[in-house]
A and B are shown apart, each in its own frame.
Chain A
């Protein structure tokens, strides 16, 4: 079993730190864009003293039947267009909805003449991600400050995305289906994406293949119906694979499959960061992204990540994040199903029967 109190403390400390960090990093900047999947808590965006603010969220995050389950904040009431219109979009930000927008980013310096500054923050705009003062249990999130070249690419991505017609304009309300041709996609050397070039999946597969000794993965959700999962399962046979996942019934079947393949699985309640960390004890490299270990995020939708090559100073923080949670979370050994127990008993009995003559018991 995991140790929830220690994990909860870690999450709470990080939530407070992340909130203060984001406020400090982005307040007072002229042109900012925040990207997230959903919004439940406007308070941080309202506190920002930035002059111009755009918020990009998923236009379809309220249509999911399991929207509560899909949010790290089980108590969160995600804000739909009506609430946004009366709230944030009325006075604090221009809000646009894009189909399957799951990328999480904070960008300042939107214009070419400005110096870009960017952060990948795994949290959504929810109390669980950024409010350590309330009753809501905090999620485990990772904040990564981008280097200049990465921030430049983030700006290119955001500008490319926002030049496209949005699906939803919150104020005034418009329903605009994506049509016509998108602007030409810039070339990215640092950032990896799902839509439209699927470099995120390619880089994750490459990272899995590059692992020599260990591979650590953190995720909110996982399913077994995707290529990355298959490769991860396969990798578990040759390197030590450790997986920290949110404790969610929907994850169990895939996690069990991984465990049976030899991976060490740990449940970490409200683990929401998505980290792929190879060879953490030798020559670590990593990929920090927004996509879960799901076909949905790896094959389609707006997802964003960055590859941290060996020697990158930020790898220490990423490793610390993973190791800290891993130490606090107990390993999960799946309990065999009753039918499997019967099979195993029969197998054992068969083994005894077949071995017995050699033991000359009879």
Chain B
């Protein structure tokens, strides 16, 4: 095993949440909305009466009307001058190709977590999830944003700009609901949409999963706990082929060479630099990028036993009181294993040699004296 690192990164920063009033529709197969489109396709258009008679046994005329109006809002049908509802091109495509239709999910105030602040990390995820949340707390935290200005383009909110432009053209989004991802359509109640926005602190943990590919291992919203459901949706997602500016260029410039399998190889200078701390089995490096505080944590591999023992002495030792020689050897062996080597050749003499070469700077004199005791008096 070399010094290649499987890097886990912990990011702490702020992301903003946008809220707007609108209808939310999901794209679902085997739904009453799909049956409505099939009916319109079969009869070359349809009416409230036909829907009521065929689909609702002639007893639900109001419901039939609402279903048709929803499909119009979802742009699957349009109302002809003669009062018949006919498939739009999109509705026809949905029916033929996807065998799915938009189904009204909810209406009211919608909150959208927009990932602009994640752009340095996940350039392809300007908009992460969209969810219906009843978040009335912290009303003072919210402020208004003029949607026209955002739609015209605002460098601070590129993701939100994309979102609003999509709303205007009726485009849908991919969003996570719990663990599943679905296509989702938003119909704002007003035109232009009224946008309110606030920031939330987020802690994000990702792990390198391949060259330019990083998997989200955890996300925690330190405010707006109701967003926790979104965390479930994000965990496990892989952002592939993104963020080359940071994960490739930045790391490369910082002395980390990307390897296959999501590993990175730190330069010798990086390993030896003061900004890098080897503590026990991890390699830690702190940096700031894109307004985020980032801690890179990687598992370290040693190339030979002496190197592993040098690291053990320098970083792996704990002040666990006076030990016996077997106890110290056991602790050293566990460390050697953790950095990818077989501890079979570990002897008191080799451990003593490491202490002759290195000193654990993190231990004070009392602790160092205790650690050395078995080597001095039992070896």
Contact = CB atoms under 8 A, between A and B. Distances in A.
Do A and B associate with each other? yes
Interface of A: 31, 50-54, 88-95, 110-111, 159, 162-163, 169, 171-172, 174
B328 to A, nearest CB: 14
Interface in B336-379: 359, 364-370, 372-373, 376-378
Contacts of B359: 51
A52 B368 contact: yes
Interface residues of B, number: 15
Nearest to B356: A113
18 contacts: A31-B372, A31-B376, A52-B372, A53-B366, A88-B366, A89-B366, A90-B364, A90-B366, A91-B365, A92-B365, A93-B366, A94-B322, A94-B373, A95-B366, A159-B377, A162-B377, A171-B321, A172-B321
Contacts of B366: 53, 88-95, 171
Contacts of A171: 321, 366, 370
B365 A52 contact: yes
A144 B368 CA distance: 29
* Top 9 A-B residue pairs of the complex, sorted by shortest distance between their CB atoms: A94-B369, A172-B321, A91-B364, A94-B370, A52-B369, A163-B377, A91-B366, A92-B365, A93-B366
Contacts of B321: 169, 171-172
Interface of B: 321-322, 359, 364-370, 372-373, 376-378
A202 B23 CA distance: 104
Contacts of B376: 31, 110-111
Contacts of A159: 377
Nearest to B319: A171
A95 B359 CA distance: 21
Query: Which has the most chain A C-beta neighbours within 10 Å: B364, B369, B373, B377?
Result: B369
Contacts of B364: 90-92
Nearest to B373: A94
A162 B378 CA distance: 10
Given A51-B365, A91-B364, A171-B366, 13 more contacts: A50-B365, A52-B368, A53-B365, A53-B369, A88-B366, A90-B364, A91-B367, A92-B365, A93-B366, A93-B369, A95-B366, A111-B376, A169-B322
Contacts of B369: 52-54, 93-94
B98 to A, nearest CB: 68
Query: Which has the most chain A C-beta neighbours within 10 Å: B366, B368, B370?
Result: B366
A30 to B, nearest CB: 10
A221 to B, nearest CB: 32
B345 to A, nearest CB: 23
B362 to A, nearest CB: 13
Nearest to B363: A91
A93 B364 CA distance: 9
A93 B377 contact: no
Nearest to A113: B356
B123 to A, nearest CB: 49
Contacts of A163: 377-378
Contacts of A91: 364-367
A306 B321 CA distance: 34
Contacts of A111: 376
Contacts of B378: 163
B238 to A, nearest CB: 46
Contacts of A89: 366
A110 B359 CA distance: 17
A51 B322 CA distance: 17
A194 B322 CA distance: 28
A95 B365 CA distance: 11
A267 B372 CA distance: 46
B206 to A, nearest CB: 39
B259 to A, nearest CB: 39
Contacts of A50: 365
Contacts of A93: 365-366, 369
A163 B378 CA distance: 7
A89 B372 CA distance: 15
A171 B359 CA distance: 21
A298 B366 CA distance: 33
Contacts of B367: 91
A182 B359 CA distance: 31
A186 to B, nearest CB: 14
A210 to B, nearest CB: 38
A90 B369 CA distance: 11
Contacts of B370: 94, 171
A90 B370 CA distance: 11
Contact of A51 (B368, B373, B377): B368
B277 to A, nearest CB: 21
A169 B369 CA distance: 13
Query: Which has the most chain A C-beta neighbours within 10 Å: B321, B368, B370?
Result: B370
B108 to A, nearest CB: 61
A31 B373 CA distance: 11
B360 to A, nearest CB: 11
A110 B376 CA distance: 8
A360 to B, nearest CB: 85
Nearest to A90: B366
A172 B366 CA distance: 11
B165 to A, nearest CB: 63
A278 to B, nearest CB: 38
A163 B375 CA distance: 11
Contacts of B373: 54, 94, 162
A163 B374 CA distance: 9
Nearest to A112: B376
Contacts of B372: 31, 52
Contacts of A88: 366
A162 B321 CA distance: 16
Nearest to A158: B377
A89 B369 CA distance: 10
Query: Which has the most chain A C-beta neighbours within 10 Å: B364, B376, B378?
Result: B376
A269 to B, nearest CB: 35
Query: Which has the most chain B C-beta neighbours within 10 Å: A31, A52, A54, A92?
Result: A52
Nearest to A172: B321
Contacts of A172: 321-322
